[in-house]
Structure 1
Amino acid sequence: MENGFYTDFDTESIGHGQSRHDKGRTPFEQDRDRIIYSPAFRRLQSKTQVFLSGEFDFYRTRLTHSIEVSQIGRSIVNHLNRSAAELGDGFHIDQDLVESICLAHDIGHPSFGHAGERALNELMRPSGGFEGNAQNLRILVGLFYRQKAVWTGMKPTRAFLDGMLKYKTLFRDSADKDRHFLYDNQEEVLDFISPGMCLRDLFNSGKELNSFKSLECRIMDWADDIAYSVHDLDDSIRAGFISIKKLRNWRDEQAPGLDTEDIGFLDALCDAVLNDGFGPFLARLIGQFIHATALVRRDNPLAERTNRYLYDISVPPEVGQRCKLMQKLARDLVFRTPQVHQLEYKGGIILRKVFAVFEDEYVGKANSILRLLPDHYHAAILGCDDPHGRRRMLCDYISGMTDGFVVRTHKRLFDPGFGSIIDLI
């Protein structure tokens, strides 16, 4: 059955890549399948989510997190399609579209989590910065497929690409240039999302522009919030970062700013941890957050062009507050601990040292004497006359490395005792 919720405007593709003449699958199914079979998606299995890759065997990686976000996203779509009076069999939110957006939402993020992202952004500041979400788009539009030293995109549909746009502010327009921006050369993506309409002219600030998201992007964003608010706590409790004592102390410290429901929730969480029942306790929250989501209408410049902007989702304030409370709990008791900060510092140092070696060889010299990179990157970088272009390609290479690959590369470059004949095979 045809789905009237989407039109040719939503399914139009951008860029060069593989053909979309396969009539056996919808355009959104093709988007999803291409993500699942891509090397960039598989690399997420060895990239940090909370704890460094390989540190434990039970916690989430970027890959398992992305899979969980996609499942939550599909469940939100199921709930909305069943509960919203305006949606039905021939007019509904597409599950495959939301799933593909959720699966790909971290595909451009580097090793070592947010510490790696910050390090690369500092290094790339003179050449347009680095931002994980901007790198998502760079991969999808221009780096998805490779033949020798030539890269092309996956020809994403407008709806899929727009669903990936958590932020719409360009680097040059960003106030602090620390995060939440697109690369300046991705202005063509914004033009494709809203042809004939300059979104930057319609908003008073970058914050307002970044808040202007499609329905599917809003679903992905909420699914992501649900996943990491619940699962970061789950991983942290299992890893021993969060104990009964730490929970109770944190509850007492935060008590002046908490209402009775928040305190009751924290007491219940303490009991669940004490009774070793925190897994089911946290899992039930996912269902509560999903079923609290509702479909609403909105008015904006793109609402007449596509239903993706005619509709939005809403979440009751108390539900959003509960999610934020859980995120703050994880930040305070896990992410701001000396153990995590020391590991993040080490990851940043490793990335900076590896980047410095490659930059010295491939940007600081007219022609590289050494062959430090794979043949296709070596040839592509030497074929670029712009030093900023060379730095961007180096950043593409390094940001695609898994945690373990970065560490091994660092050891080969700096550890005299590391390396064997196996490295040459």
Structure 2
Amino acid sequence: MAMNWPQLLSRKRLGSDDEPSETTARTDYQRDLDRIVFSSAFRRMQDKTQIFPLSKIDYVRTRLTHSLESSSVGRSLGTLVGEQIITRHGLASAEASDFGDICAAACLAHDIGNPPFGHSGEDAIRLWAETGDYGKGRVGVLHGSQREDFLNFEGNAQGFRVLSRLQNRDNPGGLQLTSATLAAFSKYPRESCIGKGRFDGVSAKKPGFTAADRELFETVVENTGLIRRDPILAIWHRHPLAFLVEAADDICYRVIDIEDGYRLGHLTFDEALGLFLQVLSEPERQEKRLRGISGNKEKIEFLRAKVINQAIGQSMSCFLDSEDDILAGRFDQPLLSVIPKREEMNQLIEVAAEKIYNAPEVIEIEVAGFQVISELLERFIQVVDDVAEHGPQASSRSQMMILLVPDQFIGPDRKPAEDAYTRLLRLTDFVGGMTDSYAVSLYKKVTGISLPGG
């Protein structure tokens, strides 16, 4: 049993019964890309951490910049692969650009579910669910995937939730993206509770959707023909293009974090130069080209482009060489772990972890982010629970504070849900969707550190 490309390229839109568009002016996959670009969740990524939280330097990349760059790489990867796949399989109804547009759209959205303060924000939500004075008790009464959705909170699962439910929330299926784009977006096609160590491979490493969104994900699976890995548990093999989306992300943060580290003074010019040159297959040729470039900044930019281009070519070759195994679900590792220059590319991460990710200004803000996120969750879940359980008899403080929470994160008619899982889910939707700056601002207000107009 193997997946097949015609079904994998499904243009069926989640939540819509409309037939796929027949216009050639703008394809269904291009419409996906446009819907993501114009969504409010996408715009908020301009104030969400990539590496350096709340940076005052306008050069530093944010989640938005990183997503745009990943999308550019993803489009190149997808288009190059698409040209070969179409020739191999005689896909008369597909264009190479379709593959590129699917990957570009999925890459644009790949970080759209990340909470404030980057990956430390995910850790903060998990820690609160496990150890929070009030949160621990609320999460502790849940079971299975409902419980693990919080103990193992994951930005990728939240991203699927944003795309399929939270954006355009009055529409069934949210943004109503094509099933192909949603499946390519889903690097981890599994629920949160599957048993530790039971399934191997990179696609089983993290959850990709919440228990509340399982039915939506199963619709995507049905439309695209993903292969199921267990008869009971909700876990499938990846959509092949998800490997390209992952590779585009991996290429960008490995390479560009080194460039950012140099620009901010965490790496010397010689360090950045050496790291990039050792990745390239013909470093002597590039050194000759560098002699014609006057500025050090421009030299690093030139090499960054060369490294990215080479990584794209090697990732494409590895994907095409492994296509049969990918379609059969036998290949399940990041493409960058099998490219010829994998060790040199991995060294970029190792150096970044040592000299950039642990820089004092990064750690200081991330530590503060733990406090901000946990305090917001702890305070607001008590407020929502109080109103849910006591209605008009809830404390005046709760009735006042709940006004700070938008309607969509409370429930119809601003009545909190009766079950604890839904209340917790809406709360993490609320806090997880905040920008870094808004989270800090709201934290200061609810704790009395800063008063409006003060």
Distance 1:301 1:319 in 2: 21
Relative to structure 1, the CA distance from residue 20 to residue 377 in structure 2 (aligned partners, 3 Å threshold; closer, same or farther) is: farther
- Report what 1:369 is aligned to: 399
Q: For residues 375-390 of structure 1, what are the structure 2 equivalents within 5 Å?
A: 375-380=407-412, 382-390=415-423
Distance 2:253 2:439 in 1: 25
Distance 2:90 2:9 in 1: 21
- Provide structure 1 residue ranges, at least 5 long, that are not aligned to the other structure: 252-259
More moved, 5-14 vs 23-32: 5-14
How much does 1:322 deviate? Answer: 2.4
- Report what 1:175 is aligned to: 196
- Report what 1:115 is aligned to: 120
- Secondary structure, counterpart of 1:391 in structure 2: helix
How much does 1:45 deviate? Answer: 0.7
Contact 1:70 1:103 (8 Å CA) reproduced: yes
Correspondence for 1:340 among 351, 362, 372: 362
Contact 1:16 1:154 (8 Å CA) reproduced: no
Identity of aligned residues (%): 27
| Amino acid across the alignment from 2:186 | L
1:237 has 2:262 as partner: yes
Relative to structure 1, the CA distance from residue 349 to residue 174 in structure 2 (aligned partners, 3 Å threshold; closer, same or farther) is: farther
- Provide structure 2 residue ranges, at least 5 long, that are not aligned to the other structure: 131-138, 140-146, 199-203, 392-397
Contact 1:298 1:309 (8 Å CA) reproduced: no
How much does 1:69 deviate? Answer: 0.6
1:393 has 2:393 as partner: no
Contact 2:115 2:432 (8 Å CA) reproduced: yes
Q: State the superposition RMSD in angstroms.
A: 4.0
Correspondence for 1:103 among 101, 104, 108: 108
Correspondence for 1:355 among 377, 381, 384: 377
Distance 1:197 1:82 in 2: 22
Relative to structure 1, the CA distance from residue 27 to residue 245 in structure 2 (aligned partners, 3 Å threshold; closer, same or farther) is: closer
TM-score by length of 2: 0.75
Distance 2:78 2:119 in 1: 29
Q: Deviations over 1:195-226 (max 9, x none)?
A: 398723289x99xx68x322221111111111
- Report what 2:13 is aligned to: 13
Distance 2:361 2:310 in 1: 33
Relative to structure 1, the CA distance from residue 171 to residue 313 in structure 2 (aligned partners, 3 Å threshold; closer, same or farther) is: closer
Distance 1:299 1:82 in 2: 16
| Amino acid across the alignment from 2:261 | S
Contact 2:226 2:239 (8 Å CA) reproduced: no
More moved, 281-290 vs 167-176: 167-176
Correspondence for 1:136 among 118, 135, 159: 159
Relative to structure 1, the CA distance from residue 101 to residue 383 in structure 2 (aligned partners, 3 Å threshold; closer, same or farther) is: same
- Report what 1:188 is aligned to: 215
| Amino acid across the alignment from 2:88 | E
- Report what 2:134 is aligned to: none
Contact 2:20 2:28 (8 Å CA) reproduced: no
- Report what 2:240 is aligned to: 215
- Report what 1:53 is aligned to: 54
| Amino acid across the alignment from 1:53 | L
- Report what 2:179 is aligned to: 158
Distance 1:170 1:286 in 2: 33
Relative to structure 1, the CA distance from residue 245 to residue 223 in structure 2 (aligned partners, 3 Å threshold; closer, same or farther) is: closer
TM-score by length of 1: 0.79
How much does 1:317 deviate? Answer: 3.3
1:200 has 2:229 as partner: yes
- Report what 1:257 is aligned to: none
| Amino acid across the alignment from 1:66 | S
Contact 1:107 1:136 (8 Å CA) reproduced: yes
